[in-house]
Structure 1
Amino acid sequence: MNAIVDISIVIPVFNSEKAIPELISRINQVVDQISNSYEILLVDDFSLDNSWEILKELQDKNDNISIFRLSKNYGQHNATICGIKHAIGNVIITMDDDLEHLPESIPTIYKYFIDQQYDILYACPNKRQKNFFRNFLGNFWNYLLKLSNKGISDASSFRIIKRSLAENVALHQEPFVYIEAIVLWYTNNIGQITIPFGKRKHGASNYTVSQLYNLNHDLGMHYNTHVLKFLRNFGITVFLCSFILIIYFLLKKIYGSPVPGYTSLIIVALFSTGSILWGLGYLGSYIGKMFRVLNKEPQFHINEKKTKEFQK
């Protein structure tokens, strides 16, 4: 689809009934300064509060807002992809719903994006507000992704994406989505800009430590085969070590000084069994993901939507 407006702003929404009205008001104030041709797409990821009713009220009052209600909670990246697939802007801006991403920064990052002619630009915080453990987990995983060439060293969900790249990202149909990994399949023309971030005004982060771990776990499995390669190399190492131990114990027995007791055998048996079970668990996870893909598990399903006339 050809672009119809200059800018599309995609915002996944989850349990943000208190923040959304202020966010939309501030977006309208600042984006009007750079373009009078823009749209806002709000994707409700099956919120448990009154967010959907708030979105419907906002859509009734603003002719540039389209809203989508997913049938269940699919996750932030899936909800973002839903918005990208329905966006009609020449560039697509994605941002969070909690007011940490300041709408007042949009003109700055938009100008920088246009001037530098990036395919995608990440607006990163000059100081992260999250706790130490969450920062450590995110930074460590981003570092591993950079080393494996499967991610971007410093990224955030505050992005500006060129339409041609967004269309390629939107082509992916698999149920497991991580936008930063997909981006690197299509471009290296990636920019970053450091800007101040705000503080969450209402509630706590929707990402728990457990959810962050699961996201990173799925990312590591779905977008590369490093775990399988590690298990292969680990298995070879265990086999070689076991072979050396077998020769060692045989020589000790032949020369009349066998190793007393079964401690060493028990240790080797437990270590080998644990390694095998660990490897089988990961292989099972890979097979399970293949099963879900082959059965065409949906990336998202829209239960209800209200869009502008030219999007219907």
Structure 2
Amino acid sequence: MDISVVIPLYNEEESLPELTAWIAKVMQEHNFSYELLFIDDGSTDTSWSVIEGLIAENPAVKGVKFRRNYGKSAALNVAFEAAKGDVVITMDADLQDSPDEIPELYRRIREEKFDLISGWKKKRYDPITKTIPTKLFNAATRKMSGIQLNDFNCGLKAYRSDVIKTIEVYGEMHRYIPVIAKWAGFKNIGEQVVEHRARKYGVTKFGFSRFINGFLDLLSIFFVGKFGKRPMHFFGSLGVLSFLIGTFLTIWLISVKLYEISMNLKYRDITDQPLFYIALVAIVVGFQLFLTGFVAELVTRNSSERNQYLIEKEIL
């Protein structure tokens, strides 16, 4: 099968028939064999009934319905497990992504050998309350990941099948799939300017809390990707640094007091100085960080996945 089109959705009953017809038209024009996977993320409208009707009309349409709303990441993860196409295209269900972009995305994955291509909605129709925070998060993600993409959260993406069968998406991490893919060893990541169309039906599911959760997930990806199998390198380094700072401050305070005593100078007790308590906190925190790293290392070494690594090719 050439293409799997994955569409997570929540309360998008009005747009589904038009989107399905549009995708079918594009596939027929380019003679693609395809499947269309709708993942209903616990919709409260008639979206699932619409999907059932589309399945009856078009054998390429398939559907999964969650009992409740789990979020876009969960929908994508389930779809990735079910997808059978050589190239997987993800897009939103609200008609803001154009299916006309699919042929070029497919061509670039197959001919230019990209692992992943992320869409870039260079001209957007979103309100400024969404575009400005999005730009800030894109800049932060570029800085932390080293991936030079302008729009990490664009729903329109294309993947080589190996990518989606390797990575795991959860939480709010769908917006950072390029980062997850990079940490999994897929480094041939590209970008393509795509059309962003004004919303035709329904209302946006955007909320400010998504940025908070997204930032926390970005930190999780960064930490797990870099230190997941060696937590002591992170916690131990910080712990040793904090402990040394606290120890240095303590020695300095004692040295100053001994000098003042030897010179018959007026002095304060060490415990009367704020710097003493800073040194004490630094020593305690350093010890706790080191202990955290030690415990995390024990947990990692006893994990069933401690020696599971991603192997691309093997000749034995």
TM-score class, shorter: 0.7 to 0.9
Of 273, 276, 294, which residue of structure 2 is paired with 1:265? 276
1:103 is matched with 99
Q: 1:126, 1:194 within 8 Å by CA — same for their partners in 2? A: yes
Q: 1:123, 1:158 within 8 Å by CA — same for their partners in 2? A: yes
The 3 A distance-change label for structure 1 pair 152 and 94 is: farther
Could you tell me how far 1:18 is from its partner in structure 2? 3.5
Could you tell me how far 1:35 is from its partner in structure 2? 2.2
Is the partner of 1:66 in helix, strand or coil? strand
The number of aligned residues is 280
1:143 is matched with 143
Q: Structure 1, residues 97-123: CA drift from partner, whole Å, max 9, x if none?
A: 233322222233333434423233222
Paired with 2:255 and 2:24, the residues of 1 have a C-alpha distance of 80
Q: 1:45, 1:74 within 8 Å by CA — same for their partners in 2? A: yes
The answer as to 2:116 corresponding to 1:120 is: yes
Is the partner of 2:29 in helix, strand or coil? coil
2:312 is matched with none
- Deviation larger for 225-234 or 210-219: 225-234
Q: Structure 1, residues 17-55: CA drift from partner, whole Å, max 9, x if none?
A: 333333223222323221252210011222344332332
Could you tell me the percent identity over the aligned residues? 23
1:224 is matched with 226
Could you tell me how far 1:68 is from its partner in structure 2? 0.5
Could you tell me how far 1:277 is from its partner in structure 2? 7.3
Of 140, 154, 160, which residue of structure 1 is paired with 2:158? 160
2:307 is matched with none
- The one-letter code of the counterpart of 2:277 is I
1:191 is matched with 190
- The one-letter code of the counterpart of 1:215 is D
Q: 2:240, 2:286 within 8 Å by CA — same for their partners in 1? A: no
Paired with 1:244 and 1:38, the residues of 2 have a C-alpha distance of 66
Larger Rg: 2
Is the partner of 1:191 in helix, strand or coil? strand
Q: 2:91, 2:157 within 8 Å by CA — same for their partners in 1? A: yes
The 3 A distance-change label for structure 1 pair 174 and 107 is: closer
The 3 A distance-change label for structure 1 pair 210 and 238 is: same
The 3 A distance-change label for structure 1 pair 186 and 72 is: farther
Is the partner of 1:85 in helix, strand or coil? helix
Higher relative contact order (CA 8 A, sep 6+): 1
Paired with 1:20 and 1:282, the residues of 2 have a C-alpha distance of 49
The 3 A distance-change label for structure 1 pair 216 and 262 is: same
- Deviation larger for 174-183 or 111-120: 174-183
Tell me the TM-score normalized by structure 1.
Answer: 0.73
- Report 1:13-28 matches (<5 A): 13-28=9-24
Paired with 1:14 and 1:277, the residues of 2 have a C-alpha distance of 44
Paired with 1:199 and 1:107, the residues of 2 have a C-alpha distance of 22
- Deviation larger for 269-278 or 33-42: 269-278
Paired with 2:52 and 2:148, the residues of 1 have a C-alpha distance of 36
Q: Structure 1, residues 255-302: CA drift from partner, whole Å, max 9, x if none?
A: 235446342333444566677778889999x79x98xx97xxxxxxxx
Is the partner of 2:158 in helix, strand or coil? strand
Which runs of 5 or more residues in structure 2 are unaligned? Answer: 305-316
Paired with 2:293 and 2:93, the residues of 1 have a C-alpha distance of 34
The 3 A distance-change label for structure 1 pair 171 and 187 is: closer
1:180 is matched with 178
Could you tell me how far 1:66 is from its partner in structure 2? 0.1
